[in-house]
Amino acid sequence: MSADVTSHDKKQSWFYSDMVKQHFFHPQNFLDHDLDPSEYNAIGKVGSPACGDELRVWLLIDPQTERIQRFRWKTFGCGSAIASTSMTSVMMTENGGMTLTKAREIKPIDIMNRLGGLPARKFHCSVLCDKALRDAINDFYRRVGKFDKIVAESARMIDPVTKVTDRDIESAVLDGAQTIEQVQTKTKVGIGNPSVLPAVEELIRFYKEKYFG
């Protein structure tokens, strides 16, 4: 059986770039000790070990400039998750630290591009660290009382018949679904309730732009 993940030149299967290997074998800013509370002012968490991937990040953010001064992390996940988070930590702290406004503009595809690409089935790893980062940013604003800057990510019901939410659509797109037919195969959204399909199509476009640019 032929592999379904190849390099851009089609010469290598299950291809990992040299940059991915570098960050996997030599992860940057990995947390190998217990942090003192004075070493961070924001925590982000996403996933669960029971599901196979969990990521936690600890940030030290300058309250005046809102620049990320320090980014520490731990993950229970695969090599791609390790490399993606390591690269994210570098992106967030290089050149004096990225502002929280700019950090929120970073897309998973930006992380993947800095790594020189990831196998398609591993794209969700860059999404994992993106979500943990956003969770940490919300935690910072919660701690400093700037509640108006918190961006809540809540699930919205799209199809009350099949109980499909916008997060289900998001997961389907991240898992490779690019058309409404492919999303329906994965979620059953709109089956028997075609009135929701225009909303589904809009969400597919939104998530494709959000994650793939």
Q: Angle at the Cα of 160 (from 169 to 203), degrees rounded to 5?
A: 25
129 has catalytic annotation: no
Residue burial 117-151, b: 16+ Cβ < 10 Å; e: rest: bbbeebbbbbbbbbbbbbbbbbbbbeeeeeeebee
Measured from the Cβ of residue 185, the count of other Cβ atoms closer than 10 Å reads 12
Q: 20, 125, 129, 183: which one is catalytic? A: 125
Q: 1, 50, 51, 152: which one is catalytic? A: 51
| C-alpha dihedral sign at 129, 133, 138, 140 | positive
78 has catalytic annotation: no
Pairing relationship of beta strands 68-76 and 164-165 according to DSSP bridges: unpaired
What value does the CA radius of gyration of the chain take, rounded to a whole number of Å? 18
**Catalytically active residues, by annotation:** 51, 125
